């Protein structure tokens, strides 16, 4: 997980609905909550805006925010099916229905992180755009095994948050460890590396 700076909510979400007198994202959240109340099995579908689904409006802005990397594991490049939008507060949980189109709740996610997290949520789960987030504050990186672990110098609370984040996003999965090793070998052998061209950039900062 690498620090990212969240940009302002795009106009496609903040535009005021003339009928409801509320922003679009609020209207969509209320409508989704109403539909789930009527039918618990109701599945969220991105609304259409100007002939294009809302997620297609949002993806370029989310990708620009992360330099096309996964918000959680920093995987890159994202393949077809990897460029999905994750709802940090799961849209399947009633207490979060209203956040289904809240810009602050949306993250670009690879398939691994999306599938690993699913509908899991913990209050302690780390967000890469937290103001005081920094990889080294919460985690340590093993450059031999290429694993991520809670920073033993962090507070107990911070270590717990790191542990839950590793667990929920399955950041110790063997495939990620191997991919990080390959990235490290390429980066250290590159005479003029461009950081944004590499995945798992937290290793090199």
d(CA 92, CA 183): 35
d(CA 56, CA 36): 24
Question: So what's the pLDDT on residue 82?
Answer: 64
pLDDT tens, N- to C-terminus, the chain (205 residues) = 999 999 999 999 999 998 899 999 999 999 999 999 999 999 999 999 999 999 999 999 999 999 999 999 999 988 776 678 999 999 999 999 999 999 999 999 999 999 999 999 999 999 999 999 999 999 999 999 999 999 999 999 999 999 999 999 999 999 999 999 999 999 999 999 999 999 999 999 8
The span from the first CA to the last CA of the chain, in angstroms, equals 12
CB 81 within 8 A of CB 111: yes
Question: So what's the pLDDT on residue 79?
Answer: 77
Residues 6 or more apart in contact with residue 102 via CB below 8 angstroms: 25, 29
Question: So what's the pLDDT on residue 80?
Answer: 73
Q: Where are the domains of the chain?
A: 11-204
């Amino acid at each position: 997980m690498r620090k990212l700076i969240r940009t302002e909510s795009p106009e496609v979400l903040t535009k005021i609905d003339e009928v409801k007198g509320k922003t679009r994202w609020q209207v969509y959240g209320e409508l989704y909550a109403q539909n789930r109340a009527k039918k618990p099995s109701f599945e969220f579908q991105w609304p259409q805006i100007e002939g294009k689904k809302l997620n297609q409006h949002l993806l370029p802005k989310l990708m620009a925010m992360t330099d096309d990397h996964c918000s959680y594991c920093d995987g890159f490049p994202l393949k077809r099916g990897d460029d999905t939008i994750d709802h940090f507060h799961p849209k399947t949980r009633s207490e979060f229905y209203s956040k289904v189109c809240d810009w602050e709740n949306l993250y670009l996610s690879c398939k691994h992180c999306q599938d690993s997290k699913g509908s899991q949520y913990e209050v302690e789960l780390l967000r890469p755009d937290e103001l005081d987030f920094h990889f080294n504050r919460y985690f340590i990186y093993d450059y031999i095994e290429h694993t991520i672990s809670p920073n033993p110098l962090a507070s107990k609370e911070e270590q717990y948050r790191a542990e839950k984040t590793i667990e929920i996003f399955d950041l110790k999965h063997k495939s990620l460890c191997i991919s990080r090793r390959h990235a490290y070998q390429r980066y250290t052998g590159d005479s003029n590396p461009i950081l944004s061209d590499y995945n798992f950039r937290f290793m090199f900062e």
